[in-house]
Amino acid sequence: MLTIQSTKKLILAGAAAILMSNSAIAAEMTIKLGHLANEQNAWHKAAVKFGEELATLTDGRIEVQVFPNETLGKEIDLINGMQLGAVDMTITGESLQNWAPKAALLAVPYAYKTLEDMDAVASGEIGDQIEQQIIEKARIRPVAYFARGPRNLTSNREIKSPDDLNGLKLRVPNVPLFVDVWKSLGAQPTPMAFSEVFTSLQAGTIDAQENPLALIDSASFDEVQDFVNKTEHVRSWIYLTISEITWGKLSDADKEAVMEAASRAQAYERDLFTADEERLTKELQEKGMTFVEVDKDAFASKAKDAVLANVSDEIRPIVEDLFAN
């Protein structure tokens, strides 16, 4: 004879079995998505959004686990892992040019004057060519793209045109294209690790640096720099990507779900990005930095030859067309 207590136990056991059954359905496929950004970054929030949307669209059959802060591995390691099938997804950009030369188009100085210009390329015929080459040569598939904040020059004096640079000692990443472009503009570029920039500015070893507003803010450059000169010299984007091995395991319906979830994540990230750029501008101004409008056409014109000399033969005609528009 069943007692009330034993009946309760049976009910609880039955509920647990149902939950385990549902969990098994939910765990039918688990996708691991690793990236380098922290939890506050719009890319991470968009990755989480992608997972939520994909779970909804597949009735919980596909679960996305997001690993920020390189906890699943560094960018190149993740790409290598995706090519072997050990990792499913990552967020990556011009590093893909190691496999697909056209990926260099993601971050060419002065190739895109506005965010709208960049969008037109990323979502148009050139973007299709880049994505197809990435699929063929890197064996990973872009499913969405996220905008990056444009790189701006900070300094302790106003820089409105290339003539104002006049030998300015400027930290740049150790990228030959960036070094040559700033030399051609009249600066004195100094490659240096990012971790050394603040103390070098503080000591006067360098006079200036260039980065997106998010890094200018997080690195507290407002404490050692007075001006944000709106050169916006590099506009770029980055891809949310999936391994071709993982993609091949999906049904046609689930592939459609992945693309739809990615589209929703892309729109979500753009809203976050726009709000973030506005917030960062206001915060840096409140911290005492002055934003300076510059003659971008003069900068682009003077940088053009150095850019064309540094890009590969494969993409040079495309870059020439971008500069002509």
Q: pLDDT by residue (tens digit) across 25-34?
A: 555 999 999 9
In a domain, 12, yes or no: no
Do 73 and 217 share a domain, yes or no?
Answer: no
46 is written with which tokens?
């968009």
Do 252 and 155 share a domain, yes or no?
Answer: no
Domain count across the chain: 2
pLDDT, position 325: 82
Q: What is the CATH number of the domain that holds 137?
A: 3.40.190.170
- Which residue in this structure is represented by tokens 């790409």? 79
Do 127 and 268 share a domain, yes or no?
Answer: yes
- Residue 308: pLDDT above 60? yes
Cα torsion at 268, 270, 271, 277 (round to 10°)? Answer: 140
Do 177 and 307 share a domain, yes or no?
Answer: yes
C-alpha 52/C-alpha 54 separation (Å) is 6
At 131-151, the pLDDT tens digits run 999 999 999 999 999 999 999
At 221-233, the pLDDT tens digits run 999 999 999 999 9
pLDDT, position 174: 84
At 87-129, the pLDDT tens digits run 999 999 988 988 999 999 999 999 999 999 999 999 999 999 9
Do 50 and 162 share a domain, yes or no?
Answer: no
Dihedral class, residue 166 (left if φ above 0, else alpha if ψ from -120 to 50, else beta)? left
112, 71, 70, 113: which is closest to 92 by C-alpha?
70
- For residue 89, what are the β-bridge partners? 33, 242
The 10 Å Cβ neighbour count of residue 315 is: 21
In a domain, 45, yes or no: yes
CA angle 280/89/96 to nearest 5° reads 75
At 234-265, the pLDDT tens digits run 999 999 999 999 999 999 999 999 999 999 99
Q: How do beta strands 188-191 and 208-211 pair?
A: unpaired
- For residue 104, what are the β-bridge partners? none
SS3 for 84?
helix
At 17-27, the pLDDT tens digits run 333 334 445 55
